Chains A and B, each alone.
Chain A
Amino acid sequence: MAAFAKNQWYVAAYSDEIGRELLGRTILGEPIVFYRAEGDGAVVALADRCVHRRFPLSESRLDGDTIVCGYHGFTYDTTGACVYVPGQKRIPRTARVGAYPVVEQDTLVWVWIGDAEPADAKTIPRAPHLGDPAWTTVRGMEPIDADYGLLVDNLLDLSHETYLHGGYIGTPEVAETPISTEVDEGAAIVRVSRHMDDAACPPFYAKSTGIEGRISRWQDIEYFAPCLYLLHSRIVPVGAPPPGPDGEDSHAFHTEITYAITPSAEGKVYDFWAVSRDFAVDDEEVTEFLHAFNHKVVMQDVDALNLLQKVLADEPEGYQELSINIDTGGLAARRILARLAG
């Protein structure tokens, strides 16, 4: 199993998931409760276990900006300090739950997991399309009962689209087209590119773009280990010109496919997925189609990884694998994750 990389920023939620309802999520094995403060609207992230008898604070209630434990009423402020215990004046000095550093950016809520001082928020990778009004985004989150390493493997090798997602997003050309892999060791970024010059147009793009014939389809992955994955997708009818020298590319259909891969516990991962497009941005029908269709595609991966995890659990320690060219990027990602996990 892939070891957890601590002392990193992880996506805990979408911004709009956190409000005045308490939300519980477990991240790298740490149960955390989230809510939004009334005053400044800042996201609060506290350890989700009451110091008294470990009752989950996420199953408790908010009173203003304090959480009142649902069991015996220990009350905590936004810093995690206990400000009230029932029946007595003296509050034990150790009555406090941990508070997590939070950064809200690009409609994602990032939380710092680890004992070290949080790394500068500027080092958090960006996904600007998620919050950009020039793009329309559909998204969701699926918990998967699988090692997060299996999701990383899955996303770094898109040749599986041809088989697992055939008739949805996969066509024969995906698995057949050679890839280029680039690893920026210092920045912990893996880039995998697959440029298909003449490919069938899968329903995902045919129905959303209206293109009927064959397409030129570029897939450029950037994986910012450990959490953020971007797939820059560019579609044009076959024969259309490449982007101009100045980057001008308005004749192409661009889709940004974003994943946040957040390990929850051992053998569990949160799969945050989003599809953003720069075409037909006001077309509700396209929005509905892409949401439903991509959800189906994500569930194909979820089902496959749930199954894979089950059979791997029954394998003896140190089972064999066989890697081929399509695995170049996935192997690089595994190695970087192992290094980050130290």
Chain B
Amino acid sequence: MSGQSAEVYRIDWVPGSDLLHGVCHCGAEHLASDPIAMWEWMLAHPLGHEGSQGIQGSSQQSSTEISPQITAGESSSDGRHA
């Protein structure tokens, strides 16, 4: 079985909310209101990741304490299925 590789992404649905809290493999964190927008942010690494709060090494805070920007709008929740 393959072991854990270096590139691990994590997305938690914040309990009691409709928000997703993402942590990139680099440690950058992000809040988004839908999974398509979240994956777009994740996969853009490192673009747009240095502006994110609660970063490298010091991500001890709980997800409710951080306040990164919330992805604006609902524009990208529709996806075309190829």
Asked whether B80 lies within 8 Å of A319 as measured between CB atoms, the reply is: yes
**Does A188 reach chain B (CB closer than 8 Å)?**
yes
A115 to B13, CA, bound (A): 41
Asked whether A182 lies within 8 Å of B8 as measured between CB atoms, the reply is: yes
A-contacting 9-mer, from B33-41, B46-54, B65-73: B33-41
- Contacts of A178-192 to chain B: CB distance below 8 A: 178-189
**Does B55 reach chain A (CB closer than 8 Å)?**
no
Pairs across A and B, CB under 8 Å, 12 listed:
A122-B1, A123-B1, A123-B2, A124-B1, A126-B1, A182-B8, A184-B5, A185-B9, A186-B5, A224-B1, A321-B81, A331-B36
A133 to B22, CA, bound (A): 40
Contacts between the two chains (Cβ within 8 Å), count:
89
User: Min CB distance, A20 to chain B, in Å?
Assistant: 32
Tally of contact residues, B, Cβ under 8 A = 30
**Does A322 reach chain B (CB closer than 8 Å)?**
yes
Interface set of A (CB-CB < 8 Å, partner B): 122-126, 178-189, 224, 318-325, 327-328, 331-332, 335
**Does B26 reach chain A (CB closer than 8 Å)?**
no
**Does B20 reach chain A (CB closer than 8 Å)?**
yes
Asked whether B12 lies within 8 Å of A187 as measured between CB atoms, the reply is: no
A residues near B36, Cβ cutoff 8 Å: 323, 331
Interface set of B (CB-CB < 8 Å, partner A): 1-15, 18, 20, 25, 34-36, 38-39, 43, 77-82
Asked whether A327 lies within 8 Å of B8 as measured between CB atoms, the reply is: no
A186 to B81, CA, bound (A): 24
A181 to B11, CA, bound (A): 5
Asked whether B39 lies within 8 Å of A319 as measured between CB atoms, the reply is: no
User: Min CB distance, B67 to chain A, in Å?
Assistant: 19
A179 to B2, CA, bound (A): 24
- Beyond A184-B4, A184-B5, whether A324 also contacts B35 by CB under 8 A is yes
A187 to B7, CA, bound (A): 9
Asked whether A185 lies within 8 Å of B39 as measured between CB atoms, the reply is: no
User: Min CB distance, B51 to chain A, in Å?
Assistant: 22
User: Min CB distance, A5 to chain B, in Å?
Assistant: 15
Partner of A187, one of B5, B77, B79: B5
A188 to B43, CA, bound (A): 15
B residues near A320, Cβ cutoff 8 Å: 78-81
A residues near B4, Cβ cutoff 8 Å: 184, 187
User: Min CB distance, B21 to chain A, in Å?
Assistant: 10
A188 to B1, CA, bound (A): 11
B residues near A324, Cβ cutoff 8 Å: 34-35, 77
